[in-house]
Amino acid sequence: MTHRALRILGAASVAIVAAWAGVRVHSSLVAARAPGGSIKVPVGEASAPTLSDLAGGFDQAVPAAVKIPDRLPDFSLQGRDGNSTSIKAWDGKSLIINFWATWCAPCRREIPLLRALHSDWAARGMTVVGVAVDYRDKVLTYADELKINYPVLIGEQDALDAAAAFGVETPVFPFTVFTDRRGEVVALYLGELHRSEADLILKVVETLNQNQVALPEARRSIAEGLHALRAATPG
């Protein structure tokens, strides 16, 4: 059964939309807070979610204290070729950065949409970058099977640290970050992304890239638009 509970959260003046994305992870690894504020989270098989798996329940998918950066933080992870790649390799492009894992059902459902977005928006200076928080061999096999056509960065604890750099220290997958061509974080969407939501956000990002609106207005427009979509969606 799929649960969708969207709500708008304000943090660092960034439009954030929270949806159900929690999964319970089973592994021999033990979850623990590591020195320096990073979070060690087991990587492995997913089971059906329970209420304890949701950060605060369906009405509070993320803590209100989440601190979203104003600008894209710098981080480097292994690419599919095994080489370390910085997210700054795509400087000058608007990014759709999707954090996911092979064991996460909503993440898997998103991939066809992300493939389409990468194709549809590439000519307009926008690039999808997947960040897989999972074992490398599983990611490579899955990416080949699904014919993922966009860049994929892969990591375990280092990928979790990258997620934490966006303020998402509690593991909630999938989540997607949208930036403009200047590297400003325009929106962060927690949960499974759908076409109507993605197109709404990207159209606003495009107007921002064309200097037709200012960043605060763009964020406000996204928040209001997503709120209207939520109101029009039954359940």
The predicted model scores a pTM of 0.76
Q: What is the mean pLDDT of the chain?
A: 77
Angstrom CA distances, 95 to 18, 90, 102, 184, stand at 19, 8, 21, 10
pLDDT at 231: 87
pLDDT at 54: 31
pLDDT at residue 51 greater than cutoff 80: no
Confidence band of 176 (pLDDT split at 50, 70, 90): very high
pLDDT at 37: 32
Both tokens of 36, joined, read 């320096």
- The domain segmentation of the chain, as residue ranges, is 7-28+71-232
- If one counts every other C-beta atom within 10 angstroms of the C-beta of residue 28, the result is 6
Let me know: does 179 contact 94? Beta carbons within 8 Å. Answer: yes
Confidence band of 66 (pLDDT split at 50, 70, 90): low
What CATH class is the domain 7-28+71-232?
A: alpha beta
